Amino acid sequence: MSTNNPLKFIAVFGTVVGSLAIASLIFLPPAIQSIFVYFAIGFPLVVLLLFLVVLYFPNGVFKSGVDE
């Protein structure tokens, strides 16, 4: 499988992490399972929101010398 597109790489990574999270949920005690589910759902959303904030408020970090 070739991952030439960065979005494809992110999608494959997200799929693998989600699958591993579901697989490890079986081995957790029931008291911790609900906390883990909230973390497994919430953490990627926080990372996505931070990524969108970085894209929305650029400060010239993503520009190369040619773009100036």
Condensed to tens digits (0 to 9), the pLDDT of residues 8-66 reads 877 888 888 888 888 888 898 989 998 988 988 888 889 888 888 877 876 666 666 66
Look at residues 56, 38, 59, 60 and name the one whose alpha carbon lies nearest to residue 48. Answer: 56
Task: Enter the pTM of the model.
Answer: 0.57
Q: Which residues contact 66 (CB under 8 A, 6 or more apart)?
A: none
Q: What is the DSSP letter of 63?
A: -
